[in-house]
Amino acid sequence: MKKIIPFLMALLLLAGCGAQSEESTYRQVNAEEAATMMEEESGYIILDVRTAQEYSEKHIPGAINIPNETIGTEDIPELPDKEQLILVYCRSGNRSKQASEKLVKLGYTNIVEFGGINDWTGETVSGEA
């Protein structure tokens, strides 16, 4: 019995440590939920992570363009507030997931990924922002 108690104590300690190391992540919503957030929230950024050419063809009004391929390990001057709500999209949802993961690794804490512009039913504009 004396040997079991230290073992159980160690097990409880390790279990407690594991629960605290939950990794930060981003939220995923659909385009409709993102549109609702845009209506109800303020002070957010809409981030289009497609190429500059794709962005100029069609994008969500007010969105800024930072291509997924350019997001690396450096801080992003266009996104100085790491706690600001950032709504991320691309064409179909693949690059926006990749970009969201990279942003979380850079320390951003309020990332919401909502797929691609292909699923967006709201307003879009063409040309540069």
Catalytic residue among 90, 103, 112, 117: 90
Half-sphere exposure of residue 49, counting CA atoms within 13 Å on the CB side?
A: 28
Residue 17 among the catalytic residues: no
CA-to-CA distance for 93 and 97, rounded, in angstroms?
6
Nearest to 59 by CA among 119, 123, 121: 123
Nearest to 46 by CA among 74, 25, 66, 75: 66
Active site residues: 90
